[in-house]
Amino acid sequence: MDSTYYRRGFGLKAEIESQLTVDYHSTVVEALRAGGYRLTVGPLTFRLAREFGFCYGVDRAVDYAYETRVKFPDRTLYLVGEIIHNPHVNQKLRGMGINFLLQDGEGGFDFSGIVAEDVVILPAFGVTRGDFDRLRAIGCVLVDTTCGSVLNVWKRVESYARDDFTAIIHGKHYHEETKATASQVTRYPRGRYLVLFDMDEARVVCDFIEHGGDAAALNARFARATSPGFDFTTDLERVGIANQTTMLSGASLAIAEEIRRSIERRHGADGVQSRFRSFDTICSATQERQDAVLALLDEPLDVMVVVGGYNSSNTCHLAELVHSRGTRTFHIEDADCVETETGAIRHQPIGTKHEVRAEQWLPGAGMIGITAGASTPNNKIGETIVRICELAGVTGELRALTG
């Protein structure tokens, strides 16, 4: 085994288990599970989605970071960006003495302070090929926590580049995962990519595929979402579809189908076979959490609370999904957003990047749905329920039910 590159853990689970329990366990969440994901506290009934919170990839990344601290107690440890998009988990790692390398205004990382004796943890999102190569050149120890689902997308995108297909990625061009995925095309000299955020952007590209148009205008619009030297007049002749693993599955599939139809209208059915490839690369955990929250809506809810980092893509999409079904939805970062003194809730409205306050949001009696993104630990879900019970004046009843 390469003594400077690790991907399979250190076998130290037993050494970190008690600390993980202290940091992330919730008796409230366990009570909900034991009650069939339902807990009635006074006039309120909480319904928890059956798939929620930490997924396998996040569990693995967090475990691996904790193990790294145990494995290298006397080394300087760095983390490229955030391990996951949850402020509380990242704060725990800071408290363990792990130094965070943050992006500059251009989205790059400064590795100049790292030396060969240091240990650098790569996050669950992965890093770009350029950053990986720079770190390897330093000779430091790399602990790679990149999620397996992300690696599957990388393989797909790389195969497109190998076969001279442009990778069209449904995602956010500024997101760490999408940047890392897009960089995989650089394995091949003719590798290129285009990142599309939503159906509106996809339709602009589809119109160009079918009818041509002003390539310069597209170059300007997608300047930050294309590979260097991207040429809309030639680079859309053969395309392969992939996506950021945390996007809404239905949206990704719809974009893929829109592009397929445009290619068929331009080149005919035979042309689709040679010019279009697609593969649903939404990770299973993301899909399971989306399916579970939709199942929760089969029983009418008075309000839905989605817990997780405001910069967590999969959490934002869970909130968007519930909101789109007409349920009053509040995406909160943590329990502190529930203000017991004022009765208000601070939340991030769907499609925005700012926090607002809502008054009189909690029903006096009724059904409250709860779910959380794949980067949200159980204790943050449990703390949110506790805070809601405090606001409703039923903490005594909750304590009796959860011990």
pLDDT at position 167: 98
Per-residue pLDDT band at 380 (split at 50, 70, 90): very high
| 131/116 Cα distance (integer angstroms) | 15
pLDDT at position 261: 97
| 392/301 Cα distance (integer angstroms) | 17
pLDDT at position 159: 96
* pLDDT at 116 > cutoff 90: yes
pLDDT at position 185: 96
Do 355 and 348 meet the contact criterion of CB atoms below 8 Å apart? yes
pLDDT at position 15: 97
Do 380 and 335 meet the contact criterion of CB atoms below 8 Å apart? yes
* pLDDT at 107 > cutoff 80: no
Query: What's the whole-number mean pLDDT along residues 130-151?
Result: 96
Per-residue pLDDT band at 174 (split at 50, 70, 90): very high
Q: What percent of the chain has pLDDT over 90?
A: 91
Per-residue pLDDT band at 246 (split at 50, 70, 90): confident
* pLDDT at 28 > cutoff 80: yes
State the SS3 of 266-277: HHHHHHHHHHEE
Alpha carbon of 300 to those of 29, 166, 325, 369: distances in Å? 21, 44, 11, 9
Q: What percent of the chain has pLDDT over 70?
A: 100
pLDDT at position 31: 96
Express each pLDDT in 363-377 by its tens digit: 999 999 999 999 999
Query: What's the whole-number mean pLDDT along residues 116-145?
Result: 97
pLDDT at position 104: 81
Query: What's the whole-number mean pLDDT along residues 104-133?
Result: 93
| List 176, 177, 333, 383, catalytic entry | 177
pLDDT at position 248: 85
Alpha carbon of 389 to those of 28, 176, 263, 364, 394: distances in Å? 11, 36, 54, 11, 5
* Helix axis angle, 378-392 to 395-402, nearest 10°: 140
Per-residue pLDDT band at 3 (split at 50, 70, 90): confident
177 is catalytic: yes
pLDDT at position 9: 87
Per-residue pLDDT band at 403 (split at 50, 70, 90): confident
pLDDT at position 385: 98
Express each pLDDT in 266-295 by its tens digit: 999 999 999 999 977 778 888 899 999 999
| 209/250 Cα distance (integer angstroms) | 22
CB atoms within 10 A of CB 163: 12
Look over the chain and give the mean of its residue pLDDT values, rounded to a whole number. Answer: 95
Query: What's the whole-number mean pLDDT along residues 172-183?
Result: 95
Query: Which domains are delineated in the chain?
Result: 35-55+284-402 (3.40.1010.20), 56-147 (3.40.50.11270), 149-278 (3.40.1010.20)
Residue type, position 308, single letter: G
